[in-house]
Structure 1
Amino acid sequence: MASDVGSRAFQNARLQKKHRKQADELLPRAVAAYRAGRPAEAQAICGQVLALLPDHFDALHLLGVVALDGGQLDLAEQALTKAVEIDPRHAEALSNLGLALFNRKRFEDARKCQERAIALKPNMVVALTGLGNTLMRLGRPEEAIAAHDRAIALKPDYADAYCNRGMALLPLARNVEANQSFDRALSLNPRHMEAMFGKGLASINLRHSNDALAAFDAALAIRPHAAQVLAQRGRLHQQAGRFDPAMADFTAALAIDPRQDMALLGFAQLSVIKDNIAPAMDACRKVLEQNPESEVAWTWLGECFCKQGDLATALQHFERALEIKPDFGDAITAKIFLLDFMPDTDFAQHQAVRREWWTRIGSKITRRPPPLRDRDPERRLTIGYVSSDFRNHSAALVFLPVLRHHDHKAFKVVCYSCSPLQDGMTERCRAAADLWVDAWQMSDEELTDRIAADEVDILVDLSGHSAGNRLPVFARKPAPVQVTAWGSGTGTGLPTIDYFFADPVTVPEEARPLFAEQVYDLPAVITTDPLQGWQPTPLPMLRNGYVTFGVFNRIDKISDPALALWSRLMGALPDSRIVIKNGALDEPLLRDGLVARFVAHGIAQERITCLGLSTRDQHIAQFAAIDMSLDPFPQNGGVSTWESLQAGVPVIAKLGHGAAARAAAAINTAVGLGEFVAEDDDGYIAIALRYAAQPAELAKLRAELPAMVAGSAAGDVETYTRKVEEGYRLFWHHYCASS
């Protein structure tokens, strides 16, 4: 018995020795194959070694490295975990296991491995910069930068460490410094694709779109099928309004990697812009399946619900995004916009969420020292206007009249255009300015510097919290006096903005203490140029024998309470019709959904006409078929209210509980049409029924209304502009008198 045991042990020892010899012959071949770029061969040879000796450390380690390079993360983790179990003090194996865990998004486990590797081998630069990447993913960018700096100090020519350091600087908004790190990496390795990609990201953040596009194109020349680069280039095209190239890049990225989150989110955003809601929602949900903590996906999913009129669900999604990232500006802006549309919200809630933007974002931006200006109260003043809407946009219809009628002897007009999109309206705005600055490729810091260099006395925000705003510039306070006006007309919540142009109806006295800005009254919160070439038209009711109501507004302004009230009105006038006009109604899903809402209230489908996109002239011409316009609420019409009145079609408005819910009432009041302003739902219907029963009186008003509008202080754009300039001069006097 003892001799048999001894014989087997001897035979096993001989076999092990034989296997060891074979393994020792095979492993160098595996290493050579790996170094020669033949990973499949290297992996196969490692498999042969492990079939002979399952605990062969070097074969396990090499197999793990080969699998890691090839994206076989399961195999890499298994092989490297076993290697570390065999030799727990092997720093390289620990570092490589950390990288495998990092790629599997198990960042806390990766950190532990990398820190163990560094403890065993403090000068291991690969582990140090790998730890830096892990710390960044764990939301610890400052520690990440320190780890990369240690790696660079040990190996000053290590391009990967410079690149990784640049990536860690991006979430801290240290974009200029990040660009310097990427440039250093590229000086060491001109074909470093990740550094070129990072340079593109930093350039996007700095608004240097041309530089970003060049960087992404260069990165794709190095690696044509890099899905993340295609996705970011698509994002860049989208920001510039180049929607077809953007969609092409998103589609190409998703063909390579169907789960690429930036491509999915870009596809979702572009789909929302084009009113293709169902595919947008699907893309957002795919992102959330793989990353439930994506604040961007939650925000865009909320935007999808906004488009469908489900505001309560949308608000929940915006709040979820802010739970994940409390300073996520897109979600706060979306929430601000949404609350203006939600029934039963009021001035207090609207201004509270604007202050939320200031608390979470604006207050953390460093304010510039007070600029030095000549405090002569009567000298020529430089007025700077900041907007992304110096183009074919409804906001431009509101501020262009003021630009055109300024007294240039008393005021120098500077326009800071923050959009790459230009058209005929851009040229009209440019012609009205003394100085035009294309600021769309300026970072917030660069634009602030330019405004200071131009010695702007009064800086005017024309966007509020709407898309394309530059409120972070106003948070820096580059001008002595700052004003918000026209483009949004609801206040900003920024204590660095001194004044807000409104009127006594839009912002009543009792609401004014809620605003961060001091309210200054104009004849109306907005104005617009008179219609060109418009001729009065007969009252349609006289030939039709029934009333035709018009709603020429965005359909997302058609709240459930507004639609229910209009349905009630149409129920009281069984022969009446309603025409709803908006470009979004070309989308069948949205059009059919809107009609279905009326049908659910008992209004027959044939009584509803939906009109889609048209030129502005065609849009205005449609008022010839309308007897009375119905103003939506709580988000009123602005330019659409003016257009209707100028065309001779009175607008029935209802006073609401926020600035956006009182704009139409303010315009009506300003042009002498106060009898078309209701205090409540019953009053709204009473106005409509009264004039429906008095076609002669309505026809007389239709004929007289354009002249009434043009003769009012709000409708006469020259008079209106003088009122604006009186405000600027008063603001400057106050500044000059201040200590």
Structure 2
Amino acid sequence: MDTFQKAKDHFLAGIQKLESGALEEAEREFLASLDLAPGRPSTLTNLGATQIKLKKFSAAKSTCKEALASDKNNSEALLNLGLAYKETGDLITALDSFKQALMLDPKSSKAWSNKGSALRDLHRYEEALISFDRALDLDEKYYEAWTNRGLTLNDLGRHNESIQSYAEAISINRNYVDAWFNKGSIYLALKEFSQALACFETAFEINPDYEYLLGDLVHSKLLIGDWKDLDEKLLRLVKQIEYQEPVSTPFPMLSAVDKPELHLATAKLWANKQYPRNTSLPVIPKKNHSKIRIGYFSPDFKDHPVSFLMAELFELHHRDEFEIFAFSLKADNAGGVVRKRLIAGFDQFLDVENKSDQEVTQLSRDNEIDIAIDLSGYTQFSRTGIFAHRAAPIQVNYLGYPGTLGTGYFDYIIADPTLIPPTHQCFYAEKVAYLPYSYMVDDSKRIASEKILEKKDFGLPDNTFVFCCFNNSYKFNAELITSWAKIMLKVPNSVLWLSENNKDFKSNLLIAFSSRGVDPTRLIFAPRVELMEDHLARYRMADLFLDTLPFNAHTTALDALKAGVPILALTGEAFAGRVTTSLLKAINLPDLITNSREEYESLAVELVKTPNKLDEIKKRLQINLVESPLFNTQIFVKNIETLYKKMYEQYQEGLAPEHLTI
């Protein structure tokens, strides 16, 4: 057999392996073919495509460039080169490659679609939409383009059109999991949780190992209080995370399991795959500023719990020592009062929603930000990619996300000794910067209204003990409901006051309590209250807040205490399950902290049956609201600024980040 034929045989074997998904074998076959017949453009092009699928992006770039050196009109090689650049975060170069491919082949629907994807990642959504529409004009059956179009429409807030695009993709290929998953994600964002769950369950039937699907499926079930078959799903979720399989984004894990080691593993898997460290920008040169420049990054500079808590902190920062910048990752289309206050409270307020991650990073560097603080973590509309590019010499994870981000480029997480005891530091990728008392700040201007309220205004019966919990529905679970049912059965003259959350949750919860022997009429559901001062005022109708685990009340717990309502805590292992315990220690009410379900249930009943004890706790709470440091914003500002100075000194001295205390 001559050399040419051997090369051809290896090439054809490579094509066969590539089509069957045996990628490593395909790569070997293409390399063997090139050893015998170097420089063949078709072999190099297919090798580049294989290396992209194998995520060997550096090798793929070299291969594609070699293919183009042999044939400068190789549009397929240009497409592959663009994909390799896109996957490594160099979106401008990727876009240029796709444009060159289109110059060679303007009727390539694939090139138009890839161009649209690059434009979308650059936050140039309207241009991206034009590209996807062009791809679909050329091939109306191109279901991947329909799905990418759906993603872009969602970015533009055109949710119904987005859902329709996914429906088009599904009508062409019912087994296209991406479309089912993305359709479910939109329903999730729209708070149409049952429809989201239906999409995720269909996707799970098609491919139960689809990346990040199982976590969202579990989260959707928790959101509507559908706990049937949940134990089986949770067991699978835990095992797959333990086997290093990317089956959940980080946030759903916080309410799924109380295991900080699994939260770390999930965050690492997510960060390494979605937001790896990006070194395309140069190392930041060291500067020594007379005032430390603090950049707060958030999509929640609006009517949102993060801003409700932090508004006064931004205002009280000492301007003789600090310059304070806001990087707003999302506009406030509602034009709320909080946004206006925040804009006034920063030295500079930068709206960066329509900038790419790299552009935001460069803007931060241009402003010579010393400490970049991410206030969103892995919550909705977060932009971790900004920090992957290194927005500042010091990068900090604080407040918005109760756990580690699992990266190698966040230097610190701000916490307190209760949230992350020294023995738990190993579960955090960041070094821990410890605040005394509690990590949570509050705005002292956030006060309850003076309206005269009565229980009947909220459908609550008089002369009845009112347990309450205004937590989000995903924080509830079957084990918790069993504990609450036991408590209520032992305290017959009581009701449970809950946030309405959503209609499916309400319906499922009524069934759950009824099946445990509790009359469902004893559950009173509270609709959303628009004004914060009215929300705080209505807490006065409650006698005792019952907390959740593995995901505690956070802002909700602070609200309850601020309104004078004691909160019964059950301490967990992970950050999300230790927040209420932290708050109770900070306000000097340790007698409300429990460490087992049995202790939790027993203390709840005891507090009802010994009203003098509960009255004494309420009196102490009222005194401690004034005397303890928890609600003293001035003390908090001083403490967090001391931490910032320590971080800055550590950096200026050329030392690596280390655990900090003050």
TM-score (norm 2): 0.81
Tell me, yes or no, if the aligned pair for 2:536 and 2:559 is still in contact at 8 Å: yes
Give the deviation of 1:388 after TM superposition. Answer: 2.4
Give 1:229's match in structure 2, choosing from 145, 149, 158.
145
Give 2:416's match in structure 1, choosing from 492, 503, 513.
503
Relative to structure 1, is the Cα distance of residues 383 and 563 closer, same or farther in structure 2, using a 3 angstrom cutoff? same
Tell me, yes or no, if the aligned pair for 2:82 and 2:95 is still in contact at 8 Å: yes
Deviations 1:137-161 (A, max 9, x none): 5666666556644553344234344
Q: Distance in 2 between matches of 1:542 and 1:241?
A: 39
* Structure 1 range deviating more: 144-153 or 223-232: 144-153
- Aligned amino acid, residue 634 of structure 1: P
Q: Specify the SS of the correspondent of 2:630.
A: coil
How many residues are paired up? 639
1:527 match: 441
Give the deviation of 1:651 after TM superposition. Answer: 1.5
Alignment pair present for 1:559 and 2:477 = yes
2:658 match: none
Give 1:609's match in structure 2, choosing from 524, 529, 535.
524
Q: Specify the SS of the correspondent of 1:412.
A: strand
2:188 match: 272
Deviations 1:57-110 (A, max 9, x none): xxxxxxxxxxxxxxxxxxxxxxxxxxxxxxx98x99999999899788798999
- Aligned amino acid, residue 351 of structure 2: D
* Structure 1 range deviating more: 350-359 or 392-401: 350-359
Give 2:236's match in structure 1, choosing from 302, 305, 316.
316
2:72 match: 156
Deviations 1:143-191 (A, max 9, x none): 6556644553344234344234323544454433321210112233444
Give 2:322's match in structure 1, choosing from 411, 417, 424.
411
Q: Distance in 1 between matches of 2:605 and 2:74?
A: 79
Relative to structure 1, is the Cα distance of residues 398 and 213 closer, same or farther in structure 2, using a 3 angstrom cutoff? farther
Tell me, yes or no, if the aligned pair for 1:461 and 1:484 is still in contact at 8 Å: yes
Unaligned runs of 5+ in 1: 1-87
Tell me, yes or no, if the aligned pair for 1:305 and 1:314 is still in contact at 8 Å: no
Give the deviation of 1:287 after TM superposition. Answer: 4.3
Q: Specify the SS of the correspondent of 1:295.
A: coil
1:408-487 aligned at under 5 Å gives the runs: 408-420=319-331, 422-423=333-334, 424=336, 425-475=338-388, 477-487=390-400
Q: Distance in 2 between matches of 1:705 and 1:289?
A: 51
Q: Distance in 1 between matches of 2:282 and 2:625?
A: 43
Give 2:514's match in structure 1, choosing from 591, 596, 599.
599
Q: Distance in 1 between matches of 2:388 and 2:27?
A: 38
1:575 match: 493
* Structure 1 range deviating more: 691-700 or 151-160: 691-700
- Aligned amino acid, residue 373 of structure 1: K
Q: Distance in 1 between matches of 2:555 and 2:603?
A: 22
Q: Distance in 2 between matches of 1:494 and 1:134?
A: 28
Tell me, yes or no, if the aligned pair for 2:449 and 2:537 is still in contact at 8 Å: no
- Aligned amino acid, residue 719 of structure 1: I
* Structure 1 range deviating more: 150-159 or 413-422: 150-159
Tell me, yes or no, if the aligned pair for 1:536 and 1:703 is still in contact at 8 Å: no
Q: Specify the SS of the correspondent of 1:198.
A: helix
Give the deviation of 1:232 after TM superposition. Answer: 0.8
- Aligned amino acid, residue 490 of structure 1: G
Give the deviation of 1:578 after TM superposition. Answer: 0.6
Give 1:199's match in structure 2, choosing from 115, 118, 130.
115
TM-score (norm 1): 0.74
- Aligned amino acid, residue 153 of structure 1: A
The structure in which a higher percent of residues are helix is 1
Q: Distance in 1 between matches of 2:215 and 2:284?
A: 36
1:518 match: 432
Give 2:542's match in structure 1, choosing from 622, 626, 634.
626
Tell me, yes or no, if the aligned pair for 1:493 and 1:517 is still in contact at 8 Å: no
Give 1:726's match in structure 2, choosing from 634, 637, 642.
642
* Structure 1 range deviating more: 614-623 or 553-562: 614-623
Q: Specify the SS of the correspondent of 2:631.
A: coil
Give the deviation of 1:581 after TM superposition. Answer: 0.5
Deviations 1:220-252 (A, max 9, x none): 455556432221121123345442232132223
Relative to structure 1, is the Cα distance of residues 93 and 428 closer, same or farther in structure 2, using a 3 angstrom cutoff? farther
Q: Distance in 1 between matches of 2:35 and 2:292?
A: 64
Alignment pair present for 1:383 and 2:294 = yes
Tell me, yes or no, if the aligned pair for 1:107 and 1:138 is still in contact at 8 Å: yes
Deviations 1:33-66 (A, max 9, x none): xxxxxxxxxxxxxxxxxxxxxxxxxxxxxxxxxx
- Aligned amino acid, residue 261 of structure 1: V
Give the deviation of 1:700 after TM superposition. Answer: 8.3
Deviations 1:305-334 (A, max 9, x none): 5544526614624764896x85x5xx4643
- Aligned amino acid, residue 145 of structure 2: V
Q: Distance in 2 between matches of 1:208 and 1:122?
A: 40
2:465 match: 547
Relative to structure 1, is the Cα distance of residues 319 and 216 closer, same or farther in structure 2, using a 3 angstrom cutoff? farther
Relative to structure 1, is the Cα distance of residues 258 and 101 closer, same or farther in structure 2, using a 3 angstrom cutoff? farther
Alignment pair present for 1:661 and 2:577 = yes
Give the deviation of 1:384 after TM superposition. Answer: 0.7
- Aligned amino acid, residue 383 of structure 1: I
Relative to structure 1, is the Cα distance of residues 718 and 148 closer, same or farther in structure 2, using a 3 angstrom cutoff? same
Give the deviation of 1:258 after TM superposition. Answer: 3.2
Relative to structure 1, is the Cα distance of residues 115 and 421 closer, same or farther in structure 2, using a 3 angstrom cutoff? farther
Tell me, yes or no, if the aligned pair for 2:116 and 2:129 is still in contact at 8 Å: yes
2:660 match: none
- Aligned amino acid, residue 442 of structure 2: T
- Aligned amino acid, residue 673 of structure 1: L
Tell me, yes or no, if the aligned pair for 1:306 and 1:314 is still in contact at 8 Å: no
Tell me, yes or no, if the aligned pair for 2:88 and 2:278 is still in contact at 8 Å: no
Deviations 1:104-145 (A, max 9, x none): 879899999999999999887567645654664566666655
Tell me, yes or no, if the aligned pair for 1:371 and 1:452 is still in contact at 8 Å: no
Tell me, yes or no, if the aligned pair for 2:296 and 2:373 is still in contact at 8 Å: yes
* Structure 1 range deviating more: 202-211 or 396-405: 202-211
Q: Specify the SS of the correspondent of 2:605.
A: helix
Deviations 1:266-321 (A, max 9, x none): 11212333455555455445545655653244454444455445266146247648
Q: Distance in 2 between matches of 1:685 and 1:120?
A: 75
* Structure 1 range deviating more: 360-369 or 240-249: 360-369
Q: Distance in 1 between matches of 2:218 and 2:313?
A: 36
